[in-house]
Amino acid sequence: MQFKTIGAATLATLLAGAAWAQDQSIIVQSTTSTANSGLYDHLLPIFQEETGIQVNVVAVGTGQAIKNAENCDGDVLLVHAKPSEEAFVEAGYGTSRTDLMYNDFVIVGPEADPAGVSGMTDVQGALARIADQGALFASRGDDSGTHKKEVSLWTDAGVDPAAGSGDWYRETGSGMGATLNAGIGMGAYVMTDRATWISFDNKQDYTIAVEGDEDMFNQYGVIPVSPEHCPSVNAEAAQTFADWLVSGAGQEAIAAYTVADQQLFFPNAPAQ
């Protein structure tokens, strides 16, 4: 059997090509709503076509995404819990944080509306009424950005839902889609980001019950992981992705994404 030898120049070219391919890919630790809504399916082909950089997304709750990025398991963090994001940068895990886009949270519920909250725009009042009535409420309970926001709203409403845990307050420990399915299955109210709700197929008789409170604002941010903390990070490609997202082209692409003729995310990066 004969084996073909590879010359030094050819080998160097192959190794350079492999290194280039590695340099042209990044991992984004992301919240689930951006993935479940289909936003990445819209954005990433545009970005890759323009830059040649492949983006691999790990979609988990915000809390887990931040932990993964702290453990150097990603190059970029894209989540929606601003205080936690700012703490991430302050601790030296990220280079800088930039506002990227926003939408809002809503509370959805069954047509029967057992707590009588349908049409309310005061989210704290609605939550207090749900608790007072002992109406079922399904929470993600997973330290995601949505769960963090929900907890803060309960606190503002003067309610400790943990007192109703296992009774009217049900914690799924799951992502948004699974929690919506579980909540709808048990006839419970659920707080969700609007993008996930618009994209969600299993609505049954559920509609948006509570919306419009400024406290339900939902801001997303993008953060390149710091190469000083994580030497293995693909810093150049990560910064290219973050810069593109907040550029005019990226912001236009975000605004252009719709489902059922509804815009899911609204770009609000600072002017570049």
Ordered per-residue pLDDT tens for the chain, 272 residues? 333 344 444 444 334 444 444 479 999 999 999 998 999 999 999 999 999 999 999 999 999 999 999 999 999 999 999 999 999 999 999 999 999 999 999 999 999 999 999 999 999 999 999 999 999 999 999 989 999 999 999 999 999 999 999 999 999 999 899 999 999 999 999 999 999 999 999 999 999 999 999 999 999 999 999 999 999 999 999 999 999 999 999 999 999 999 999 999 999 999 87
Token duo for residue 71? 């453990």
State the Cα–Cα distance between residues 33 and 121, nearest whole angstrom: 23
- As a whole number of angstroms, the longest Cα–Cα distance in the chain is 82
CA distances from 39 to 95, 164, 263 (A): 24, 35, 11
Residue in this structure with the two tokens 């290194």, named with its chain if needed: 19
Of 73, 70, 72, nearest to 84 (Cα)? 70
**Are the C-beta atoms of 69 and 228 separated by less than 8 Å?**
no
Q: What are the residue ranges of helices labelled H in the chain?
A: 8-23, 32-36, 39-51, 62-70, 82-90, 123-133, 145-156, 176-186, 194-199, 235-246, 248-256
| Other residues' Cβ atoms within 10 Å of the Cβ of residue 152 | 13
Burial-class residue 179 by CB neighbours within 10 Å (0-12, 13-18, 19+). Answer: buried
State the Cα–Cα distance between residues 117 and 107, nearest whole angstrom: 9
Query: What is the topology classification, in CATH, of domain 104-216?
Result: D-Maltodextrin-Binding Protein; domain 2 (3.40.190)
In the chain, residues under CATH classification 3.40.190.10 are 8-102+219-267, 104-216
Note the CATH architecture for domain 8-102+219-267. 3-Layer(aba) Sandwich (3.40)
